[in-house]
Amino acid sequence: MSLNNAHRQLLLDLAGNSIVHGLQTGRPLAVNLDDYPEELKALRATFVTLEINHQLRGCIGMLEAIRPLAEDIAENAFSAAFRDRRFPPLEARELSELGIHLSILTPAEPMLFSSELDLLGQLQPGIDGLILQEGKRRGTFLPSVWQSLPEPEQFLRHLKYKAGLAPDYWSKTLQIYRYTTEIIK
Protein backbone atom coordinates (compact mmCIF):
# COMPACT_ATOMS: atom_id res chain seq x y z
CA MET A 1 0.00 0.00 0.00
CA SER A 2 1.64 3.20 -1.18
CA LEU A 3 0.57 6.44 0.44
CA ASN A 4 -0.22 9.64 -1.45
CA ASN A 5 1.74 12.84 -0.86
CA ALA A 6 -0.89 14.30 1.49
CA HIS A 7 -0.77 11.18 3.69
CA ARG A 8 3.01 11.19 3.64
CA GLN A 9 3.08 14.84 4.79
CA LEU A 10 0.54 14.12 7.53
CA LEU A 11 2.83 11.38 8.89
CA LEU A 12 5.94 13.60 8.74
CA ASP A 13 4.07 16.39 10.54
CA LEU A 14 2.80 13.89 13.12
CA ALA A 15 6.34 12.64 13.80
CA GLY A 16 7.66 16.19 14.23
CA ASN A 17 4.72 17.17 16.44
CA SER A 18 5.21 14.12 18.65
CA ILE A 19 8.87 15.07 19.17
CA VAL A 20 7.96 18.69 20.02
CA HIS A 21 5.22 17.43 22.37
CA GLY A 22 7.82 15.15 23.96
CA LEU A 23 10.15 18.08 24.58
CA GLN A 24 7.30 19.97 26.27
CA THR A 25 5.66 17.15 28.26
CA GLY A 26 8.02 14.16 28.35
CA ARG A 27 5.36 12.04 26.60
CA PRO A 28 4.53 11.12 23.00
CA LEU A 29 1.67 12.94 21.32
CA ALA A 30 -1.67 11.19 21.87
CA VAL A 31 -3.21 10.40 18.50
CA ASN A 32 -6.94 10.75 17.90
CA LEU A 33 -7.48 8.34 15.02
CA ASP A 34 -10.72 10.15 14.09
CA ASP A 35 -8.49 12.99 12.83
CA TYR A 36 -6.79 10.76 10.24
CA PRO A 37 -7.86 9.13 6.97
CA GLU A 38 -8.51 5.38 6.85
CA GLU A 39 -5.13 4.69 5.18
CA LEU A 40 -3.35 5.95 8.31
CA LYS A 41 -5.47 3.80 10.63
CA ALA A 42 -4.31 0.46 9.14
CA LEU A 43 -2.07 -1.68 11.35
CA ARG A 44 1.48 -1.14 10.07
CA ALA A 45 4.99 -1.60 11.44
CA THR A 46 7.25 1.45 11.18
CA PHE A 47 10.68 2.77 12.05
CA VAL A 48 11.49 6.43 12.65
CA THR A 49 15.08 7.46 11.95
CA LEU A 50 16.42 10.82 13.10
CA GLU A 51 19.53 12.45 11.65
CA ILE A 52 21.49 15.62 12.25
CA ASN A 53 23.94 16.60 9.47
CA HIS A 54 23.41 13.15 7.87
CA GLN A 55 24.55 11.45 11.10
CA LEU A 56 22.27 9.05 12.95
CA ARG A 57 20.64 10.70 15.99
CA GLY A 58 18.11 8.02 16.86
CA CYS A 59 16.23 5.12 15.32
CA ILE A 60 13.40 3.16 16.91
CA GLY A 61 10.73 1.00 15.38
CA MET A 62 8.62 -2.10 15.38
CA LEU A 63 9.00 -5.19 13.21
CA GLU A 64 5.41 -6.33 13.76
CA ALA A 65 2.29 -4.32 13.01
CA ILE A 66 0.60 -3.95 16.41
CA ARG A 67 -0.74 -0.37 16.24
CA PRO A 68 -2.48 1.83 13.68
CA LEU A 69 0.04 3.55 11.39
CA ALA A 70 -0.51 7.06 12.80
CA GLU A 71 -0.10 5.84 16.40
CA ASP A 72 3.02 3.84 15.52
CA ILE A 73 4.65 6.91 13.92
CA ALA A 74 3.87 9.13 16.93
CA GLU A 75 5.21 6.55 19.41
CA ASN A 76 8.33 5.69 17.41
CA ALA A 77 9.19 9.35 16.71
CA PHE A 78 9.05 10.09 20.43
CA SER A 79 11.08 6.97 21.23
CA ALA A 80 13.72 7.72 18.58
CA ALA A 81 14.17 11.20 20.05
CA PHE A 82 14.14 10.32 23.73
CA ARG A 83 14.55 6.56 24.30
CA ASP A 84 17.28 5.37 21.91
CA ARG A 85 19.91 4.21 24.42
CA ARG A 86 22.73 4.96 21.98
CA PHE A 87 22.08 8.71 22.31
CA PRO A 88 21.20 11.24 24.99
CA PRO A 89 17.61 12.53 24.85
CA LEU A 90 17.06 15.08 22.10
CA GLU A 91 17.33 18.73 23.16
CA ALA A 92 15.24 21.63 21.88
CA ARG A 93 18.30 23.31 20.32
CA GLU A 94 18.68 20.30 17.97
CA LEU A 95 15.18 20.60 16.46
CA SER A 96 16.12 23.03 13.70
CA GLU A 97 18.75 20.62 12.33
CA LEU A 98 16.74 17.42 12.76
CA GLY A 99 15.98 15.27 9.73
CA ILE A 100 13.09 12.84 10.12
CA HIS A 101 12.85 9.70 7.97
CA LEU A 102 9.93 7.31 8.21
CA SER A 103 10.08 3.69 7.06
CA ILE A 104 6.80 1.82 6.67
CA LEU A 105 7.43 -1.91 6.54
CA THR A 106 5.70 -4.61 4.56
CA PRO A 107 4.99 -7.79 6.55
CA ALA A 108 8.19 -9.85 6.90
CA GLU A 109 8.30 -13.10 4.93
CA PRO A 110 10.57 -16.05 5.77
CA MET A 111 13.34 -16.76 3.28
CA LEU A 112 14.13 -20.33 2.26
CA PHE A 113 17.78 -21.15 1.56
CA SER A 114 20.05 -24.18 1.60
CA SER A 115 23.30 -22.44 2.51
CA GLU A 116 24.81 -19.06 3.23
CA LEU A 117 25.84 -18.81 -0.42
CA ASP A 118 22.26 -19.54 -1.50
CA LEU A 119 20.97 -16.86 0.89
CA LEU A 120 23.49 -14.29 -0.36
CA GLY A 121 22.42 -14.99 -3.94
CA GLN A 122 18.79 -14.23 -3.09
CA LEU A 123 19.44 -10.85 -1.43
CA GLN A 124 18.35 -7.72 -3.28
CA PRO A 125 20.70 -4.87 -2.29
CA GLY A 126 18.88 -1.59 -1.72
CA ILE A 127 15.49 -3.34 -1.64
CA ASP A 128 15.51 -5.95 1.12
CA GLY A 129 15.31 -5.27 4.80
CA LEU A 130 16.34 -8.34 6.77
CA ILE A 131 15.52 -9.81 10.14
CA LEU A 132 18.00 -12.40 11.35
CA GLN A 133 17.03 -14.70 14.22
CA GLU A 134 18.93 -17.46 15.99
CA GLY A 135 17.29 -18.62 19.19
CA LYS A 136 16.76 -15.53 21.34
CA ARG A 137 19.20 -13.44 19.31
CA ARG A 138 17.65 -11.14 16.73
CA GLY A 139 18.67 -8.15 14.65
CA THR A 140 17.35 -6.20 11.70
CA PHE A 141 18.69 -3.85 9.07
CA LEU A 142 16.35 -1.57 7.13
CA PRO A 143 16.88 -1.45 3.36
CA SER A 144 18.52 1.98 3.80
CA VAL A 145 21.51 0.26 5.47
CA TRP A 146 22.55 -1.00 2.03
CA GLN A 147 23.81 2.55 1.38
CA SER A 148 26.61 2.03 3.90
CA LEU A 149 26.98 -1.76 3.46
CA PRO A 150 26.39 -2.32 -0.28
CA GLU A 151 27.84 -5.85 -0.61
CA PRO A 152 25.55 -8.75 0.43
CA GLU A 153 28.38 -10.52 2.31
CA GLN A 154 29.21 -7.36 4.24
CA PHE A 155 25.53 -6.62 4.95
CA LEU A 156 24.95 -10.13 6.34
CA ARG A 157 28.16 -10.17 8.41
CA HIS A 158 27.23 -6.85 10.09
CA LEU A 159 23.67 -8.04 10.68
CA LYS A 160 24.97 -11.17 12.43
CA TYR A 161 27.19 -8.99 14.60
CA LYS A 162 24.24 -6.71 15.43
CA ALA A 163 22.28 -9.80 16.53
CA GLY A 164 25.12 -10.77 18.87
CA LEU A 165 26.60 -13.48 16.67
CA ALA A 166 30.09 -13.86 15.20
CA PRO A 167 30.30 -12.36 11.68
CA ASP A 168 31.21 -15.78 10.25
CA TYR A 169 28.50 -17.63 12.23
CA TRP A 170 26.36 -20.11 10.34
CA SER A 171 23.78 -22.64 11.47
CA LYS A 172 21.03 -24.71 9.89
CA THR A 173 18.63 -23.21 12.45
CA LEU A 174 19.34 -19.59 11.42
CA GLN A 175 16.14 -17.85 10.32
CA ILE A 176 16.05 -14.92 7.91
CA TYR A 177 12.99 -12.85 7.06
CA ARG A 178 12.74 -10.30 4.26
CA TYR A 179 10.66 -7.11 4.09
CA THR A 180 10.63 -3.89 2.08
CA THR A 181 9.88 -0.35 3.16
CA GLU A 182 8.17 2.75 1.89
CA ILE A 183 10.44 5.65 2.81
CA ILE A 184 9.05 9.08 3.69
CA LYS A 185 11.38 12.02 4.25
Q: What region does 177 belong to: left with phi over 0, alpha with psi -120 to 50, or beta?
A: beta
Residue 118 main-chain phi, psi, to 5 deg: -60, -45
What's the pLDDT score for residue 2?
Answer: 78
What's the pLDDT score for residue 103?
Answer: 96
3-state secondary structure of 145: helix
What's the pLDDT score for residue 1?
Answer: 63
Q: How far apart are CA 91 and CA 26, in angstroms?
A: 12
pLDDT single digits (tens) 161-178: 999 999 999 999 999 999
- Nearest-5° angle of CA 38, CA 41, CA 44? 130
DSSP for residue 116: H
Asked if residue 50 lies in contact with residue 76, where contact means CB atoms within 8 angstroms, the answer is no
pLDDT single digits (tens) 2-19: 799 999 999 999 999 999
Amino acid at 4: N
What's the pLDDT score for residue 136?
Answer: 96
What's the pLDDT score for residue 31?
Answer: 97
Which domains are delineated in the chain? 5-105 (3.30.700.20), 109-180 (3.30.1490.150)
Sign for the pseudo-dihedral over CA of 152, 124, 56, 107: negative
pTM of the model: 0.91
Segments of the chain with pLDDT less than 50: none
